[in-house]
Structure 1
Amino acid sequence: MPAIGDLPVAAAVLEHRAPAAAEPVAREWLAQALGVAPAGIGLDRDARGRPQLSGHGTRDCNWSHSGERLLVGLAPAGRIGVDLERLRPRPRALELARRFFCAAEADALAALPADAREAAFVRLWCAKEAVLKAHGHGLSFGLHRLEFALDPGPRLVACDAALGDPTHWAIRMWTPDPGYLAALAWRPW
């Protein structure tokens, strides 16, 4: 089970082709990571549709798919959220940031050279989505309700009280395959 740096979590990027459902692929990896048969993985959904492991103690899981890849994360304790984005041109990045991000983030993106802006936008988007998925509300909670500093990082510097103390969140980002960006957010219970 591949670990993510110094965090007590594991994650894997797997092949996945839409429109096939992602859950069976995620279930297979989770079963292997937990050492049980895929049929032995209890997966329920909360009121918002977030997957919940049942019958496996305090473990938490999450997954995200984009393009032809699926990112699955597993935490033995705490909350985990993941996001995976296929890298592609995003010519409206600054417009989207001004509409959905907090003002400080949009201003920081605007201050970047044009050739660096799209990559920074995607990093922010991935980090925000991973935290919001771990929280359980997803994007509907509001991308503006958490603020990241671009450098170093992104690093969570402020957030709505419902997300807890920003210093309790650990964010890790990496390039799992050429053309993809992965983000993982974790915080202890």
Structure 2
Amino acid sequence: MAAKRPNHEGPCQLSYHGVADYQTREEKLSGIANATLANTPWETINPNAAGDWLNQRNAAIDAFPALSDDPGVHFASRSAGVQTNRDPWVYNFSPDAVEANMRRMIHKYNEEAIAGRKDEGDLDLDPTAISWSRNIRRHALRDCPINGGRQLAFTGCSLPGRGDPGR
């Protein structure tokens, strides 16, 4: 709730009341059941130098080394980690489904690779058939087929919510 005094001059005063962490629904409802503006224990809050009003950041974080390639930082390089750019095709709870997806994708890639295409515009870049990265496109244009099968499969994990390749 916010209220403005029409004749007020000077900086604003912001009052805040929060509930304790990890309260149950019943505890929260009982805390506001008889609450009024007059009996609520308001806390006056002010922003810090970064403009944070609530959950103000700890200034010690500014002293931590940055994770960047920029000059003067602690780490020489950074990485996205293991990244296939094909998670919907190469991850599945069913090994048979992964194998079928991979066979379809490899078959489509090999069709394009052995067709002798010399320009990216000539490739069939249907995103439902294969996830084309720059590197995969380059290899296809160089007539480099892929040989692969179930022997290349292994157990891994993926982040949830990655989408469906058939979309």
TM-score interval for Structure 1 and Structure 2 normalised by the shorter chain? under 0.3
Structure having the larger proportion of residues in strand: 1
User: Larger RCO: Structure 1 or Structure 2 (Cα < 8 Å, ≥ 6 residues apart)?
Assistant: 1
Structure in which a larger fraction of residues adopt helix: 1
The alignment's TM-score, normalised by the length of structure 2, stands at 0.23
TM-score, normalised relative to structure 1: 0.20
